[in-house]
Chain A
Amino acid sequence: MSTAGHGAAVRIEACGKTFADGTRALDPATLDIARGETLVLLGPSGCGKTTMLRIIAGLELPDAGGKVLFDGKDMTSVPIERRNVGMVFQSYALFPNMTVADNIAYGLKIRGVARDEQAARVAELVALTNIIGLENRRIDQLSGGQRQRVALARAVAIRPGILLLDEPLTALDAALRDRLRSELNRLLRALGITTIYVTHDQAEAMELGDRIVVMRKGAIAQIGAPREVYFAPKDRFVAEFIGAANIVEAPIENGMLILPGGRLPIEGAATTANVTVMIRPETIRVTNAGTEALSGVVDSISFIGDRQRIVVSGASSKPLNVDAPNTIQAKVGDRVGLSIAADALRLLPSEP
């Protein structure tokens, strides 16, 4: 469709942010976002995601020395109204004094686009975002999901070079959020706009992001593709923030991790006094006791539906969480064997 492929490449250079009251919201960070890429900023509340987004948008000025470049052009001092960015706010920020159609057409009206062209574009976007028939409604006559779609349609109507979304799905209930997430994913791929998406929901980040920037306390903890940050987290924070993780501290002897419940072969380390290892719950297989080198006792079982979460104690210094298929028959108090592939054990740098 006509909207495709007008994204801009973004570069943030040494952008930090200290607010007037002295709050250090963002440490100087450098980040490159390719044309057409969807980049997700992920992190806990207060880690500076919105601040970074607002710096890119032009709603916030980076501290001295910071630079924002679009397609290599320095935009640092260009105000937001001349940056050609589409923004979707967490609260949607739809204009209450305008209809749905007027909201969507607002950016076009401001640009002096001819009326019939505005109408055609509105029709196109209304179809694209599945809100046909709502054009003449007022905003307070829309449901949350419909508002979200209008906000998105309004933001992409101006054919922005960059689309910025700040937790656009957080205000919706879980079921709607899941549906809109895949819808949004399809749309972003179809539009091909460079997209920066802020969320604190790791499932959202995984599904939507070409790359994920994991942030922590105003700093970038790790940048990588979803699989990369999931399987090869750089540190304990990333490991625990993305997905569930067992963090085990134990010594290594001759390539074997020495645990209270047995020993496991581990890659890439010789004898070390104490290492930190991450094991994802779904990489542990529950078997009969005695068949495996590692064993423990079932502490608790919670049935989740598509799988069950079994907590096994005695195998390592802390109880291990195991995601097992829902067909496994185990009871609390059973002694079970645990099989873990060597490459599922992920060495993490030990925290100071």
Chain B
Amino acid sequence: MSQKSFVWLCLLPLAVVTTAFFLLPMARLVVAGAEGPHGLAGYLAILTEGRYRATLFNTVLLAAATTVVTLIVATIAGMFLQRHRFPGRTVLIAMLTFPLAFPGVVVGFMIILLAGRQGLIGDLSNRIFGEKFVFAYSIYGLFLGYLYFSIPRVILTIMAAVQKLDVGLEEAARSLGASPWAVQRDVVLPALAPAFVASGAIAFATAMGAFGTAFTLATNIDVLPMLIYTEFTLAANFATSAALSVGLGLITWLILALARTFSGSAVAAAG
């Protein structure tokens, strides 16, 4: 048996699994999306129909905000945690990364405990201002939940990237007169760019498609996964939910591809 056919043989199981559990359902989904009363035009509904478009817009905005804020928080925290040694550091890292294993439902539950009707924030604000702040069941609660969800993932990537930073580069920049801010801007951030792109993409895609948290918080939050769920289970609108699913996948992929090309030059330059 030649080397080549051996490789093909090894790839065969993967090909079978991919086809059976990945490509076939996907194809079926694409076909189902076009089987509605409007045919292929059903796909355009996500853009043309006002309610769907607003939901899409909401979802992208929420995911983008989650990504940006997660990156900011995780970068500062990750840099600090990687560069400083202090008592309790390992405990803190463990606590920060603890939510990694939590499903969206648990995260939603925690948001309710924090900002729900009986939540901690409501209690406190009630005592201080005489008014209960409750935002768990809105898009803000969802935003908080997504942050909680993505920060641990991103922080680990950033910490690994910070560990690989060449301290000599920072010292060289300082010797040339660069202030701490200039060092961050010219040396540290460019070197971390690949980690930002990689972990940012995961945070964004997760926030686009996450469902458990939204479902736990309220069924009427306007995000695409919730919309798909209602169309599918409540309205039994198979074609629309299939079209929306394909749309969700495509749009996420498109935005990530754009972000990658956009930051591509920066990443390439950072080596």
Contact = CB atoms under 8 A, between A and B. Distances in A.
Contacts of B186: 95, 97, 106
B172 A87 contact: yes
Contact of B176 (A79, A106, A138): A106
A111 B177 contact: yes
Interface string A147-167: 000000011001000000000
A6 to B, nearest CB: 15
Nearest to B266: A97
A93 B169 contact: yes
A82 B179 CA distance: 9
Contacts of B187: 95
A89 interface: yes
A158 B175 CA distance: 10
Interface string A128-158: 0000000000111000000000000011001
Nearest to A20: B85
Nearest to A88: B172
A97 B270 contact: yes
Contacts of B270: 96-97
A10 B8 CA distance: 69
Interface in B163-191: 166, 168-169, 171-179, 182, 186-187, 190-191
A86 B176 CA distance: 7
A155 B173 CA distance: 10
Contact of B269 (A107, A138, A155): A138
Given A110-B178, A158-B177, A93 B171 contact: yes
A110 B174 CA distance: 10
Given A89-B168, A106-B186, A140-B271, A95 B175 contact: no
Contacts of A107: 176-177
A113 to B, nearest CB: 11
A89 B171 contact: yes
A110 B177 contact: yes
A70 B143 CA distance: 55
A49 to B, nearest CB: 16
Contacts of A140: 271
A91 interface: yes
Nearest to B189: A97
A91 B176 contact: no
Given A97-B191, A158-B177, A91 B171 contact: no
Nearest to A140: B271
A80 B187 CA distance: 16
Name the residue in A59, A106, A140 with the highest tally of chain B Cβ atoms < 10 Å from its Cβ.
Answer: A106
Interface residues of B, number: 21
A195 to B, nearest CB: 14
For chain A, the bracket of interface size reads 20 to 34
A80 B168 CA distance: 13
Contact of A80 (B171, B191, B269, B271): B171
Contacts of B166: 91, 93
Nearest to A99: B269
Contacts of A89: 168, 171-172
B177 A95 contact: no
A91 B271 CA distance: 16
A59 B171 contact: yes
Given A106-B186, A138-B269, A80 B169 contact: no
Contacts of B174: 59, 79-81
Name the residue in A57, A107, A111 with the highest tally of chain B Cβ atoms < 10 Å from its Cβ.
Answer: A107
B171 A97 contact: no
A89 to B, nearest CB: 5
Contacts of A93: 166, 168-169, 171-172
A67 to B, nearest CB: 20
Name the residue in A80, A97, A111 with the highest tally of chain B Cβ atoms < 10 Å from its Cβ.
Answer: A97
A85 interface: yes
A111 B179 CA distance: 11
B173 A106 contact: yes
Contacts of A158: 176-177
Nearest to B180: A81
B189 to A, nearest CB: 9
Contacts of B179: 81, 110
A204 to B, nearest CB: 21
A139 B187 CA distance: 14
28 contacts: A79-B174, A80-B171, A80-B174, A81-B175, A81-B176, A81-B177, A84-B177, A85-B175, A86-B175, A87-B171, A87-B175, A93-B169, A93-B171, A95-B172, A95-B173, A95-B187, A96-B191, A96-B269, A97-B186, A97-B190, A97-B191, A106-B178, A107-B177, A110-B176, A111-B177, A154-B172, A155-B175, A158-B177
Interface of B: 166, 168-169, 171-179, 182, 186-187, 190-191, 266, 269-271
Given A87-B172, A96-B269, 4 more contacts: A86-B175, A106-B173, A110-B182, A111-B177
